[in-house]
Amino acid sequence: MTDRTDLALRDIPSYALYGEAAEDPAADWIHCETIQSRSRLHNYRILPHRHEKLFQILHLARGTADMALDGQSTKVTGPAIVTLPPMTVHGYRFSPDVQGTVLTLFDSRLAHILADMDGVRETFRSVQLIGLQDHADATHGLADDIRSLTAEFAGRASGRSEAIQARLLLVLITLHRIRGSGQKSGAHIPGRRALQHALRFRELVDQDFRKHHPIEAYARRLGLTPPHLNRICREHLGDTALGVVHQRIILEAKRYLTFTGLSAKEIALALAFDDPAYFARFFKQKTGLPPLAFRAVQQSTLA
């Protein structure tokens, strides 16, 4: 990639979760709120939904939650922790006396934080339902760490993002240790293994989409056959494996076209297309517009 494309990438703005303006762009990768703040607006009921690229930690400090997780129902009594990887369909009915915190972050950031901790990362690829009643010391420590994390999130002190990440890592390691003590989780919900493969595939695509690997190469890394990978992608990601790769390439192209002044040829090179004309045809096929026409529409929309 050229120096010009590197510079252009730095100009792409970063937006906070939920459309909120981030006063500190360095810390907009995470959002913290109390369970009460959102659930009471909906009569303590959150209808089943899912997040495509977000990872959530729900700390139920007090009260109960009737939960629907991927079509299965369970009741959780605080103190407890629930972790939800992307694409998990989840809904809640909380008791009115509920207390606790919801931490929401980009799954890509979680992968970055745990890049050198494969065991911990593997724990959070699946739903975890962790009761804390029998872990008094860990319960107090977790509550303290989460309070410190939310205080950092609400503040504007120097090193805020780093402090949030450090406290989040403590929370994740503590939960991993509790899981390692033999407590059962929701990891064996039927279909979860296929979803884990789908999420791992999307991680690999995020890392390598510029390399234009054949689907067979991704399938080998996942220990799957290409037809099996395609079935998983259709079921959990709504497209074929190749379609998921193409979506990621188009997303990056749209970012370049919207937020940089790079030419279509420069964008093609940045995305490892040897033939800029082929890139232009590919982009039009997927979006219905040539690259520069798409840019014009975006500029008029953002003006």
Q: pLDDT of 46-68, one tens digit each?
A: 988 888 789 999 999 999 999 98
Q: Which residues neighbour 20 within 8 Å (Cβ) at sequence distance 6 or greater?
A: 31
Please indicate, yes or no, whether residues 157 and 34 belong to a single structural domain of this protein: yes
Which tokens hold the place of 241?
A: 């494996």
In a domain, 186, yes or no: no
Domain region containing 270:
192-302
CA of 177: how far to CAs of 114, 120, 174, 190, in Å? 15, 9, 5, 24
Residue 78 is part of a domain; what is its CATH number?
Answer: 2.60.120.280
How does pLDDT run across 195-234, given as a tens digit for each residue? 888 888 988 998 899 999 999 999 999 999 999 999 999 9
Instruction: Reply yes or no on whether the pLDDT at 44 is more than 60.
Output: yes
Please indicate, yes or no, whether residues 163 and 69 belong to a single structural domain of this protein: yes
Q: Using CA atoms, how far apart are residues 245 and 251, in angstroms rounded to an integer?
A: 10
In a domain, 9, yes or no: no
Please indicate, yes or no, whether residues 19 and 165 belong to a single structural domain of this protein: yes
Asked whether the whole model's pTM tops 0.85, one would answer: no
In a domain, 245, yes or no: yes
Q: What angle do CA 29, 33, 35 make, to 5 degrees?
A: 135
The residue with tokens 């913290």 is 32
Q: Using CA atoms, how far apart are residues 260 and 80, in angstroms rounded to an integer?
A: 45
Q: Do residues 216 and 226 make contact, with C-beta atoms less than 8 angstroms apart?
A: yes
Count of Cβ atoms closer than 10 Å to residue 259 Cβ = 15
For 15-44, b/e burial (b = at least 16 CB within 10 A) is ebbeeeeeeeeebbbbbbebbbeebeeeeb
How many structural domains are present in the chain? 2
Q: Where is average pLDDT lowest: 241-245, 255-259, 276-280, 291-295?
A: 255-259
In a domain, 216, yes or no: yes
In a domain, 4, yes or no: no
How does pLDDT run across 71-122, given as a tens digit for each residue? 678 999 999 999 999 878 889 999 999 999 999 999 989 999 998 887 898 8
Count of Cβ atoms closer than 10 Å to residue 261 Cβ = 11
CA 35 to chain CA centroid, Å, is: 20
In a domain, 93, yes or no: yes
Of 146, 180, 214, the residue that ends a domain is 180
CA of 15: how far to CAs of 115, 127, 256, in Å? 23, 27, 16
Residue 266 is part of a domain; what is its CATH number?
Answer: 1.10.10.60
The residue with tokens 């798409």 is 294
In a domain, 1, yes or no: no
